[in-house]
Amino acid sequence: MNKLYGIKALAFDAYGTVFDVHSVVALANKMYPGKGEELSRLWRSKQMEYMFLRTVMGRYIPHGENNEAALIYAMKFLKLNGGIKERALLINAYETLELFDDAKRTIPMLSNFKKSILSVGTPALIRRLVENAGIESNFEELLSVDEVKVYKPHPRTYQLIIDKLQLLRQEVGFVTSNYYDVIGAKAFGFQAIWINRNNVIPDELGLCPNIELKSMDLMPNIFG
Q: Contact positions toward its own copies, by CB under 8 A?
A: 46, 49-50, 52-59, 61, 69-70, 72-73, 76-77, 150-155, 180, 183-184, 187, 201, 203-206
Helix, strand and coil content of the chain, in percent to the nearest 5, comes to: 50, 15, 35
Q: In the complex with its own copies, which residue's Cβ is closer, 58 or 224?
A: 58
User: Bridge-partner residues for 212, per DSSP?
Assistant: 194
- Tell whether the torsion through CA atoms of 50, 51, 56 and 60 is positive or negative: positive
- C-beta of residue 24 within 8 angstroms of C-beta of residue 93: yes
Phi, psi angles (nearest 5°) of residue 83: -130, -145
Shortest distance, position 45 Cβ to its own copies, whole Å: 10
**Residue type at 206 in one-letter notation:** G
217 classed as catalytic? no
Q: In the complex with its own copies, which residue's Cβ is closer, 98 or 181?
A: 181
Phi, psi angles (nearest 5°) of residue 166: 55, 50
Mapped onto helix, strand or coil, the DSSP state of residue 139 is coil
User: Which residues are catalytically annotated?
Assistant: 13
